[in-house]
């Protein structure tokens, strides 16, 4: 998840205008977010319980209602807002992930 978040940050660095245009920047950022949200979806219940500040539901909604299942209807404004406002917070939270004991899973 950390790698995908970092790549989304890097790939979106050229700004909103370039992201909003169909092309490589948009594709790269969307693919980075698909990787991030797919990884979040595969995260164990124990890890999610130990890290309630990470918005697991938001990551799931982003994946299911735009990035993967409704790709043609993806709301680019919402994705851009996520990348600029929410993703930096999530990235910082990932640096402090608390891993569960095996018995917690």
Angle of the 2-11 helix axis to the 24-41 helix axis, nearest 10: 160
CA-wise closest residue to 33 among 71, 59, 69, 65: 59
pLDDT of 68: 83
This prediction's pTM: 0.89
pLDDT digits (tens, 9 = 90+) for 6-55: 999 999 999 999 999 999 999 999 999 999 999 999 999 999 999 999 99
């Amino acid at each position: 998840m950390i790698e995908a978040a970092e790549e989304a940050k890097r790939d979106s660095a050229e700004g909103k205008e370039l992201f909003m245009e169909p092309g490589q920047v948009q594709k790269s950022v969307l693919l980075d977010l698909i990787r991030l949200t797919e990884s979040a979806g595969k995260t164990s219940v124990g890890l999610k319980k130990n890290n309630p500040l990470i918005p697991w539901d938001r990551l799931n909604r982003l994946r299911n209602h735009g990035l993967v299942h409704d790709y043609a209807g993806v709301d680019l404004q919402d994705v851009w807002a996520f990348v600029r406002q929410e993703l930096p917070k999530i990235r910082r939270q990932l640096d402090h992930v608390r891993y569960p004991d095996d018995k917690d899973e």
